[in-house]
Amino acid sequence: MTSSARSRPRSRDDARMKPVIALLGPPGSGKGTQAERLRDGLGFTWLSTGDLLREARADGTELGARAGEYMDRGELVPDDVITDVVEQALAELGDRPILLDGFPRTVAQAEALGRELDVVVLIDVPDDVVVERIAGRGQGRKDDNPDTVRERLRVYHRETEPLVDHYEGRGLLRVDGTGDPDTVLEALLDGLGHRRS
């Protein structure tokens, strides 16, 4: 067990002392599902970059419009746009404990983050499982068709694998994300030192 994993939060009070957990993983890995459960169980404020970007886009902001151009092509939104959106959200949260979903996505974003990450979790899911999951969601979004999903995965691996390597030597917690949500949650809580009653 790494020192990073050993220093994980163990209660809502401890969560206030260990304020930042980052969830990494490809699109369709279930980060959002697990973030929701960890938020409810540990009292963290959940920040999803995907949600933040979609909200900015729906609100018609300049950042949202810039992000939308990349999202429609299945490309990752550039670091400067992502960082601006996240920094705006962080500024509103002050020192509350935070669960970051989808940020940082690159080493540049990790280095630009002004807060220390106490635990970095990678929810690991093979590409073929991701394509099957997203294509089967039936939400009708432009970025959910199989060809676009494969492009998103290609870009994800190119851009994000250096980040995984960056955190591998800093106590990255890997969790198998191929199971059902309850199984993944059990593995995640086990890695974080929690047990469900």
Q: Which residues are catalytic?
A: 31, 105, 137, 141, 152
| CB neighbour class for 1 (10 Å; exposed up to 12, middle 13-18, buried from 19) | exposed
Rounded to the nearest 5°, which phi and psi values hold at 124? -95, 120
Q: Which residues of 160-184 are buried (b: 16+ CB within 10 A; e: fewer)?
A: beebbebbeeebbbbbebeeeeeeb
CA distance 109 to 187: 27
Radius of gyration (Cα) for the chain, nearest Å? 16
Beta strands (DSSP E) in 33-101 are 45-48, 98-101
Angstrom distance (rounded) from CA 195 to CA 188: 10
